[in-house]
Amino acid sequence: MKVVLKQDIKGTGKKDELVNVSDGYARNYLLPRGLAIVADSAAMNTIKSKNEAIEHHKAVELENAKQIAAVINGNSVKIESKAGSAGRLFGSITSKEVAAALKEQYDVDIDKRKIELDSDIKTFGTYGAKIKIYTGVNADIKVVVTESNS
């Protein structure tokens, strides 16, 4: 019997998946517990529309990621920081500060966990960073650290 699962069932399948199970398993276990519904035309249309909606959302997210990558790829982000007498920073520049600078300078929200700095930033200078915006969409930026005037 073909059924559509309403939730993940170990050994049988995942939610919204069409599976072929034995008649007894379907009638005595899956259907009475509400774990599955019979795969009729209405259930198949529901699955099809859900899958199309998911694909559409993925396509929209990918397009947005490509637009963000086009805006920031190859550009530089300027960060001002205080330093001691030898030119070493008080602390270091983190991906959180880079994300805040991207938001301020380019109006782009990037999660700090998606920013990979090439090295620890503890002195003034220019450093590279890679940003993983979406699956398969990456951007490279330069982080320019300068001394703050205040």
What is the DSSP code string of 90-111? Answer: EEEE-HHHHHHHHHHHH-----
Question: Which of 20-29, 30-39, 77-86, 136-145 has the lowest average pLDDT?
Answer: 77-86
Q: What is the mean pLDDT of residues 90-108?
A: 91
Range list for CATH 3.10.430.100 in the chain: 74-147
> Which of 145, 147, 109 shows the shortest CA–CA distance to 129?
145
pLDDT of residue 150: 61
pLDDT of residue 102: 92
Question: Architecture of domain 2-67 in CATH?
Answer: 3-Layer(aba) Sandwich (3.40)
> Which of 119, 103, 122 shows the shortest CA–CA distance to 111?
103
Radius of gyration of the chain (CA): 25
Confidence of residue 82 (pLDDT cuts 50, 70, 90): confident
How far is it, in rounded angstroms, from Cα 146 to Cα 4? 59
Average pLDDT, the chain: 91
In the numeric block, the tokens 């940003």 are attached to: 131
Range list for CATH 3.40.5.10 in the chain: 2-67
CATH topology of domain 74-147: Ribosomal Protein L9; domain 2 (3.10.430)
Q: What is the mean pLDDT of residues 41-61?
A: 92
In degrees, rounded to 5, the angle at the alpha carbon of residue 99 between the alpha carbons of residues 108 and 73 is: 60
Residue 92 confidence (pLDDT) above 90: no
Per DSSP, what are the bridge partners of residue 13?
Answer: 9
